[in-house]
Structure formats: C-alpha cells, structure tokens
Amino acid sequence: MIYSLCLLLILIGLYGVIVSRQTLKIVVSLLIMNHGVHLMLLLVGYRKNGSPPIVDPGTTIADFAAGAVDPLPQAMVLTSIVIGLGVLALMVALCVRLYERYGTFDVTEIRRLRG
C-alpha cells in the first residue's frame, strides 16, 4: 500500500513535467519524480522491525541476514542522490543558459524544433 505513495509522487512529478511551461518548474517536478523513485527503492529493501544494516563485532552473518534490512538499495540510493545533485546542477545551468540565449523561461517560446 505504501508503494502507491511512491507512485503518487512519481505521477505528481510527471504531471508537473508535462504541464508546466517554466523550465525551473520542470526541474522541480523532475526532482519530485526522482525522490519518488528513491523512496520506492528504499521501500523495496525495507524489513518490518528490522535492525540497521550495521555489522557489529559480535553478530554472525546468519543473524545479520535474518534481522537487518537490505543495505544494497540504501547504498544505491545514496549514490543516486549524489548523482541527482549533479544532474540538478546541470539542469539549472542549462536553464540559465536558455534564459541568456532566449530571454525567457517559457518553453513554448523556444520553438527551434518546429517542422
């Protein structure tokens, strides 16, 4: 059931990307989508009442596998957040360049692809 929250976040982001005309709003919508995906990945690895995935000197591998939540999605999401930051910086930079080039943030006024 909790997964539908992720889907909701992704759909909200998608709606924002499709509908909004301002480049910065599109960037924010993409961020929302991004976080929806992250949340879903984390939830995949979640285990109810699980212990944090930290191997203390005393625990055996069998105990760890039986009790801890899955650390792999967490590591991946952590990486993805960092990459997302880089992508965000790139997108914002592109928005600034578009503004310098066309003098607007409105994507409907940038129509170089028109057939």
Partner 1 sequence: MLRSLLTNPMALPVVFPLLAGLVCLLLPNAASRLRVWLAALAAIVVLAFVWPLFQQAGQTWNPLPWLTLRTDLLSVFILLGVAFFGLVVAVYSVGYMKDRPHQRAYFTYLLWTLGISCGVVLANDLLILLVCWGFLALILYLMAGLSGPGAAEAARKSLMIIGGSDALMLLGILIYWHLAGTTRMDGAALALDGPLAYMAFLTLLAGAFAKAGAVPFHSWVPSFGEKVDAPVSAFLPASLDKLLGIYLLTRLVLDLFIPTPGMYGMLMLLGAVTVIAAVLMALVQHDLKRLLSFHAVSQVGYMILGIGTGTAIGLAGGLFHMLNNTVYKSALFLGAGMVEKQTGTTDLDRLGGLAKLMPVTFIVCTIAALSISGIPPLNGFASKWMIYQGIISSGDNGSFAWVLWLAVAMLGSALTLASFVKVLHATFLCKPSVEIRQMEISEKKGSMLLPMIVLALLCVVFGVYAFQVPLGFLIFPVVAVTVPGVWWSGLATVLILLAVIVGIGLYWLTMRGGKLRRMRTYIGGEQMQDVYLSNDEPGPLRHVEVTGVDFYDTIEQVPGLHRYYALMKDRVFDIYEFLKRSADYFVQMLRALHTGILPSYLRWFVAGLLLVVWVVTMEGR
- Residues in the site for partner 1, rule: CB under 8 A? 14, 17-21, 107-108, 110-115
Residues 40/3, Cβ–Cβ less than 8 Å = yes
- Please, which residue, 29 or 77, has the CB nearer to partner 1? 29
CB of 18 to partner 1, least distance (A): 6
Degrees (nearest 5) of the Cα angle 69, 72, 78?
A: 105
Backbone angles phi, psi at 103, to 5 degrees: 75, 20
Q: Compute the least distance from the CB of residue 63 to partner 1, in Å.
A: 38
- Which of residues 52 and 103 has its CB atom nearest to partner 1 in the complex? 103
Residue closer to partner 1, measured from CB, 48 or 112: 112
Least distance CB 88 / partner 1 (angstroms) = 19
Closest approach, Cβ 83 to partner 1, in A, equals 22
DSSP 104: -
Buried residues in 77-98 as b, exposed as e (16+ CB within 10 A): beebeeebeeeeeebeeebeeb
